[in-house]
Amino acid sequence: MSNLRNHQIGRMRKICAAVLVAATATLTAQSREPVDLDAIYRIKAEGFQGSQIMETLEYLTDVHGPRLTGSPNARAAADYTVEKLREWGMETVRLEEFPFGRGWANARTVALAVSPQAFPIIAYAKAWTPGTSGPVRAEAVVAVIRNDADIEQHRGTLGGKAVLTAPTPPVDALFEPPGRRFTDDDLASLALQPDPSGQPRRFGRGDREFAARRMQFFLDESVAALIEPGSGRGDSGSVRVGSGGSRNPDDPPVAPQLVFATEHYGRIARMLEKEIPVTLELDVQNQFYDDTLDSFNIVAELPGTERADEVVMLGAHFDSWHAGTGATDNASGSAVMLEAIRILAATRLELRRTVRLALWTGEEQGLIGSRAYVRQHFGDRDTMVLEPEHAKLSGYFNLDNGTGAIRGVYLQGNEAIAPLFEAWMEPFANLGMTTLAIRNTGGTDHLSFDAVGLPGFQFIQDPVEYGTRTHHTNLDLYERIQPADMMQNAVIVASFVYHAANRDAPLPRKPLPEARAGQ
């Protein structure tokens, strides 16, 4: 009797286990994030067969680049972009202005060594610095000033000189290629929870005060120009150029400043070490624009249907530095987002939520455009006083890591979003998109949204040559763009935006951060 009962109990357990497995499978199937494969097919067909992305890039880079915030080029590129968005059927296209400061542009930079040997020099003016007021000839000298004692050592010796202000950086041979894709091991490492220890050094008040004293010393000396090498990236053959002055017209003036190719800088410095005089001829024409102290963000919309008051955003920074044409930083991201919204318009896929494109300026000066937009529309990061629109934004997708193919998404610590993105990635595994990284990534405009508790995400991209050759350099040109990567990136972004706009619930959020005012 007991054997029969044990057999029956065992049989019932197996049946219950089978029912439980079936129920779990049904629940999993029902709870799995839906993916609209028909929509993806249509998005791929338009994005791969009808792509306009490279033509957009040509106009943003060859025709209108560089797009330094506040420059005439940036405004002309915006006019072109607004025209294209309207041509593609966007119902709402506008420029939203925000306070920025004065504009600046370089019209001419000529640098030559005159003696003891004549040779041309690869040189670029630093942004927001004055020119040379016409051609000047100046003796080159080295004056590396790190402290107040160095200032006193050189006082009275630099008048009218072209001052080399830094040691010559080493130039390494290229034993490894400067361009690369992420390997499987790279992606596996990105997917791991990062080590939270370690903080980057921040410049303090003392550093800024000494920098101001140092610049005033150079002005008092009446130097012809300050010259520095093209950064520690001399081994890549590129020249990295940024800002040397202020956007605020009321700030103290600065001296003319140039960045030389490291190889040319080193040649001059080595001759000076041998006590061989070097004479340079410099002609730098820079223009400040004080007629307006505002810049702008470009905003365009595709209207939603029954949830039109809710919004999904996609965006990228539109501005660039000025030594190249801002191709990989960040005409590439802007063109991808423009192409993504063009694809959604061209396919006429129904969007339940409104899709809003935003292209930011002022990113290179500290995310100024996106922060201004978030403050106006969604909330103040310092006080965490939120605007009504905060509740209506489902999420924001950003692209700003060069021309490389999208390989995944940085989740910015948002654990709840992972199952959604995992499902949305699956149709693109054959394009190499396989990785979700829980870690944060910094330095670009999704941070403005994340800072006020909104879901903001940056895609993971193959590095290609971004960190080694093109980021903020004179080689950031159209030729460095990878067309196949660009097309597939636009398709992936369009698909993610489409699914976010059409899911029943908005994207899950992290808890709101605490106000930081007074901290």
CATH of the domain at 170: 3.50.30.30
Both 274 and 392 in one domain: the answer is no
Q: What whole-number distance in Å separates Cα of residue 331 and Cα of residue 66?
A: 9
Number of structural domains in the chain? 2
Collapsed DSSP state (helix, strand, coil) of residue 104: strand
Tell me the mean pLDDT in the region 15-30. 35
pLDDT for position 175: 84
Q: What is the pLDDT of residues 298-324, one digit of tens each?
A: 999 999 999 999 999 999 999 999 999
Q: What whole-number distance in Å separates Cα of residue 220 and Cα of residue 19?
A: 86
Domain-located, residue 46: yes
Both 358 and 465 in one domain: the answer is yes
Q: What is the pLDDT of residues 230-260, one digit of tens each?
A: 975 555 679 999 999 999 999 999 999 999 9
Helices H / strands E in the chain, number of each: 13, 16
pLDDT for position 15: 38
Q: What is the pLDDT of residues 95-141, one digit of tens each?
A: 999 999 999 999 999 999 999 999 999 999 999 999 999 999 999 99
pLDDT for position 106: 98
Both 175 and 303 in one domain: the answer is no
pLDDT for position 115: 97
CA 45 to chain centre: 28
Both 69 and 139 in one domain: the answer is no
- Give me the percent of the chain exceeding a pLDDT of 90: 85
Tell me the mean pLDDT in the region 138-164. 97
pLDDT for position 114: 98
Domain-located, residue 453: yes
Reply yes or no on whether the pLDDT at 484 is more than 60.
yes
Domain-located, residue 68: yes
pLDDT for position 21: 35
Kindly write down the DSSP assignment for every residue of 307-372, as one continuous string.
Answer: EEEEEEEEEEE----SSS--IIIIIHHHHHHHHHHHHHHHHT---SEEEEEEEESSGGGTSHHHHH
Q: 289, 323, 348: which is the final residue of a domain?
A: 289
Both 59 and 205 in one domain: the answer is no
Q: Specify whether the CB–CB gap between 193 and 222 falls below 8 A.
A: no
Strands 279-289 and 225-229: unpaired
Tell me the mean pLDDT in the region 36-48. 98
Q: Which domain does 45 fall in, by range? A: 37-100+293-502
Q: What whole-number distance in Å separates Cα of residue 455 and Cα of residue 457?
A: 7
Q: What whole-number distance in Å separates Cα of residue 43 and Cα of residue 424?
A: 13
Q: 289, 314, 344: which is the final residue of a domain?
A: 289
pLDDT for position 173: 82
Domain-located, residue 18: no
Burial class (CB in 10 A: 0-12, 13-18, 19+), 156: exposed
Reply yes or no on whether the pLDDT at 328 is more than 80.
yes
pLDDT for position 237: 76
Closest CA to 145 of 54, 78, 58, 221: 221
Collapsed DSSP state (helix, strand, coil) of residue 259: strand
Both 181 and 67 in one domain: the answer is no
Both 320 and 278 in one domain: the answer is no
Tell me the mean pLDDT in the region 432-448. 95
More confident residue, 142 or 198: 142
Both 63 and 200 in one domain: the answer is no
Q: What whole-number distance in Å separates Cα of residue 363 and Cα of residue 314?
A: 15
CATH number at residue 384: 3.40.630.10
pLDDT for position 204: 63
Both 265 and 311 in one domain: the answer is no
CA 471 to chain centre: 9
With bands split at pLDDT 50, 70 and 90, how would you rate the model's confidence at 32?
confident
Exposure pattern of 10-38 as b/e (b: 16+ CB <10 Å)? eeeeeeeeeeeeeeeeeeeeeeeeeebee
pLDDT for position 206: 72
How far the first Cα of the chain sits from its last, in Å, is 76
Both 322 and 402 in one domain: the answer is yes
pLDDT for position 323: 97
Q: What is the pLDDT of residues 49-66, one digit of tens each?
A: 999 999 999 999 999 999
Which residues are CB-contacts of 128 (< 8 A; sequence separation ≥ 6)?
102, 104, 243, 244, 245, 246, 247, 254, 288
Domain-located, residue 444: yes
Domain-located, residue 483: yes
Q: What is the pLDDT of residues 366-382, one digit of tens each?
A: 999 999 999 999 999 99
Reply yes or no on whether the pLDDT at 3 is more than 90.
no
Q: 239, 255, 289: which is the final residue of a domain?
A: 289
Tell me the mean pLDDT in the region 255-271. 97
Reply yes or no on whether the pLDDT at 447 is more than 60.
yes
Reply yes or no on whether the pLDDT at 10 is more than 60.
no
Q: Specify whether the CB–CB gap between 404 and 186 falls below 8 A.
A: no
Tell me the mean pLDDT in the region 341-349. 98
DSSP 8-state secondary structure symbol assigned to residue 179: -
Reply yes or no on whether the pLDDT at 7 is more than 70.
no
With bands split at pLDDT 50, 70 and 90, how would you rate the model's confidence at 23?
very low
Tell me the mean pLDDT in the region 396-420. 97
pLDDT for position 17: 41
| Mean pLDDT of all residues belonging to the chain | 92
Domain-located, residue 141: yes
Both 93 and 138 in one domain: the answer is no
- Give me the percent of the chain exceeding a pLDDT of 70: 91
Domain-located, residue 389: yes
Both 89 and 155 in one domain: the answer is no
